Structure formats: structure tokens, C-alpha cells
Chain A
């Protein structure tokens, strides 16, 4: 039943509904990445910048958005930050995700030239709130991941 010939008889109708992915830049490195990503045009992703230490977000037009509202409407929240420990907003957003049982992925970008100490500072901020942590040397990986997740 698992031959190539049998594969032709698999049900050919869509097997999933679109998922809402909220991508949040936590610091200047993250902000730069989300602006590049946004330019690619995604159907099911929305991009925000975190306002440091406050329970608040900004969309890319600069309008204020509530963390609670955005997390409520999310299936996955992606947090993006660079090394150096400027991802303070991870806690407020992560806590909102935790309360609502929303999956989180933490990305550390721009690590190629960073020291382990700088990386460590960001990991301390991301780890408690990320159910998956990714450290990629090339920032174009995030776009591939979003495509893979049908963003």
C-alpha cells in the first residue's frame, strides 16, 4: 500500500486551514530582519516591532498594537533578536503566549560576528519563552522557514 503506484490514489484535497503567524522584532537587528521579510509579501504573516520593556507592539506603519490582541489571533509567534541582550520584550510577549498556549519560536540573527557572551545574553532572554530556538548564520533562513510553515 506504500508503493509509488498506490501514492496516486491519495486524497487530493487540502488538508489544513491557513495559520496566522506573528513575527516580532525585539531589537534593532530583529527590526531590520522583519522589514526585509515584510517586503516579500506573505499571506498569513504579520510583522511587528516590540516596544522595549512595555506590553506594546508597533506595526510597520508605526501604529500601536496590543500584545494580547495579536497573540490571541496567532497560531505561532516568532521572536527575532540579535546578540547582545536587547530582547527585553521577550518576557512580556512570551508570557502572553504562555497564558494563551500559543507556540513560540525564538530566532537569534546576525550571530556570525558575535561573541559567545553576546549570544549568551540574548539566549537568556529568549530561552524561557521560546519552545524552539534557532541560531542561523544566514538571515535568509527565516524566509525559508516561513515558506515551510505556509506563512
Chain B
């Protein structure tokens, strides 16, 4: 149970809200770089943190993220012409550069300097690891560029996708740290999904459906450890990383890729579910990349030309009751991502947390809320920089390890939980 005022505090991220201010403290993923594939290509509408923006790439390859609407009569610049180092409104020809500065008002004499008095709100947009990142906070507090490992490895080692989710960001993120659902909702996928099957660790999962959880505060957020019995009295640990405000990394399996998510608010009722897969030491194989494009693992198939999942609430997520009855899937929905999204969307855009009945195994969710509330208030009241901001908080890894029974996993997996160049992820 979460009181309504606390739920509102965490779920509302528009301009001027405390949680919105916190999101505006970080570089957040805005678009895939492929969405702006060449100079002077068509602009792309982007809504983030309840602000309607427009992304474009100018003649010199510079990226811009500006207010979607022309300062003149308020028409959408999405209809504009991207030409000669700027975006020109199709209505009366006003033109803006990537910083939102108006550089031409054809109806006014150039010598009047009128154009210089017009400037749209704009945010920096930077390509890193195939993702375009933006920072929407005050310029004087802009942090260094993001250092997540999946965007710092060579391009052929990494793959990222995004999908539209019709829920508030917190609801989606809480699903990502709710480790206890995996033994039920996703149980059919471990031995069939090409991006998971074959790992030795899968057998620990499948032979013990009731793991014991340990939740430990980390510098940037939380470690969530799921413990199962292994040989010789040892424990098999799967350690998930959550870094504030909305980054997760799931423990790897065998020599498969490492994967995880970002959940980024579009507005208070929808979000982008970003998903990444990478391997620090090797290229992704063609088969892996094809599987990811085909919606396997944590990715999805799309309605063509969109980022909306092909299985969505308008078609009941293509639920297959025969597959459910036969045990091929637990819920009847195919694919890990849509198994999660279908249930999270069924809760409504913003679930009423005053009515929920949490249990002890929900401590990961409870502690994440606790840390978020604390960080939001510290930022609002004292200007305290929130966790997840520092590069050290971003250079982390999830891990799967087997440890003796008396060892705290934070100690036994200490090295495995941070990025170590040229060292493979700890995996079983």
C-alpha cells in the first residue's frame, strides 16, 4: 500500500513536479539514432516528461530537440522543411536551428533583428551507443554524458529497442524489479527462447520455483538478489541491479547477452520501455540480432511503422488460451516483454496503490519507492543530487554466481557487480 500523495509524488513527472525535476537531473534516452538516419531527414515527434518536442538532424549532422510548435501561430513544426541547417515552418517560413533559436522570419526585414528575439525551448540531444540522449534540466546542472556499459561497448556488441507502453513509468519499472513473478509468468520461456536457453543456471531456476530474496541498498539504487539452492550446500544467486531513477539490469544466463531496461515517462499515463542487450567481450551473432529484431528475449514485434507492440490491448495481446492450457505459456501471451506489459497495462494507466496488498516478497518494490521518495524530497528541499547521477553508479553489472552459504552476495560478487573492462560478466 502506498498513500495517494506518495503515489502522486512518484507518478507525476511533468514540468514543475518534484519527480519531474528528478528525471530532469539525468541524461535520459529520447530516440533511437536510427530514427534520424541522415542529415536533413524528416523530423520526429517526441513527447517526454509531458512535453511535446520535435527531434531533427540538420544539414551538418547536428541533433536538435526543440519545442514542437512554432512561436508564431503555434503550428506543429513536424510539417516543416528540414533544410539548410534549420527547420522551416511550412506555414509562414519561420526557421529554427538545433538550439531552437529562430534564424529567419521572412516577413520581417533581416536587419530588424526580430528573429534573434525568438527562441524555442530546446534540449541537448547527443548520440551515444546508437541511442539519442537528452538532458531536460537546467543547463548549469548538466551532468557528464551517460556511462552505461551497453552504450560504451563497440556498436556490434550491442542492440537496443524501445516499445510504447500504456502505463505510467513507475508501474512498468516496478514490474522490472518484481523478481518473484519470474517463476510464474515467464516460466515457459527459459528453455525455449533462443536468447535464454541452454544456460546451466536455467536448471537452478526450473528446479526451485520458490527462491528466497535479499534486498540490499546499493550506492545508486538497489541490488535484488534471488537465491536458490545449488550443489554442495552452496547458493545460486541472480543479482539484479536497479539504478535510480529507472534503469535495471537483469542477471545474465550462460554466455548469452546481458540485458535490461529503462522506463522513461512520455506523460503520466504512458511510457517508453527501452530494452537493451549487449555483451562486453564479443559481437552479437547474426542469429542473436535477428532474434532480437524478431521480438525474442525482452524485445517485441511492432505494428509496422510504429513502436507499438503488435500484440497490444486492442487485440487482447493475441492471447492463446490453448497455449496457456497446455503450459507452453503461463498467461497465454507470447514473449517476455508482452507478458509483462499485458498485465501491467491491465492495471490501468496509473494503478491505485492505496488498494494493493503487498507481501513480504515485494520488499524490492517497497524499498525502491522508499529510496525514490527520499531522493525526490532531498532534491526538492535541499537540492541534493540524486543517486544514479554519478558515473560510478552507472558502471555496474548484474551477475549470476554460485557462493558459499555464509557469504553476503555483495561481498562474494563485489567485483562482478561493477564494470571491468575485458572481463566477461559473471554468469552461470
Contact = CB atoms under 8 A, between A and B. Distances in A.
Given A4-B350, A149-B360, A137 B217 contact: yes
Nearest to A119: B408
Contact of B370 (A124, A127, A141): A141
Interface of A: 1-4, 6-7, 10, 15-16, 76, 103-105, 116, 119-120, 123-124, 127, 130-138, 141, 144-145, 147-150
Contact of B348 (A2, A105, A145): A2
B212 A132 contact: yes
4 closest cross-chain pairs (CB), A and B: A7-B348, A133-B214, A135-B216, A116-B411
Contact of A134 (B1, B2, B367): B367
A131 B361 contact: yes
A101 to B, nearest CB: 12
B362 A148 contact: yes
B407 A120 contact: yes
Contacts of B1: 147-150
A104 B166 CA distance: 35
B346 to A, nearest CB: 5
B185 interface: no
A7 B269 CA distance: 13
Contact of B349 (A3, A131, A134, A135): A3
A103 B359 CA distance: 9
A71 B346 CA distance: 37
A149 B214 contact: no
A131 B212 contact: yes
B218 to A, nearest CB: 10
A76 B357 contact: no
A144 B366 contact: yes
A127 B363 CA distance: 16
B366 A145 contact: yes
Interface string B3-20: 100000000000000000
B411 A120 contact: yes
A134 B355 contact: no
B407 to A, nearest CB: 7
Contacts of B346: 1-2
Contact of B405 (A3, A119, A124): A124
B358 interface: yes
Contacts of A149: 1, 358-360
Nearest to A105: B360
B408 A116 contact: yes
A145 B349 contact: no
Scoring B2, B357, B370 by chain A CB atoms within 10 A of each residue's CB, the highest score goes to B370
A24 B378 CA distance: 31
A133 B215 contact: yes
A151 to B, nearest CB: 10
B389 interface: no
A148 B358 contact: yes
Given A105-B360, A132-B214, 20 more contacts: A4-B269, A4-B349, A7-B348, A10-B352, A103-B360, A105-B363, A120-B407, A120-B408, A123-B406, A127-B212, A127-B405, A130-B212, A133-B214, A134-B363, A135-B215, A135-B410, A136-B217, A144-B369, A144-B370, A149-B359
A148 B357 CA distance: 8
Given A2-B313, A137-B217, A132 B357 contact: no
B345 A133 contact: no
B359 A2 contact: no
B392 interface: no
Nearest to B167: A2
B75 interface: no
B96 interface: no
25 contacts: A1-B346, A2-B313, A2-B346, A4-B269, A7-B348, A10-B352, A76-B360, A116-B410, A119-B408, A119-B411, A120-B407, A123-B406, A124-B405, A124-B406, A127-B212, A132-B213, A132-B214, A132-B360, A132-B363, A133-B213, A135-B217, A136-B217, A144-B370, A148-B1, A149-B358
Given A2-B346, A103-B360, A134 B215 contact: yes
Contacts of B313: 2
B347 interface: yes
A104 B363 CA distance: 12
Contacts of B366: 144-145, 148
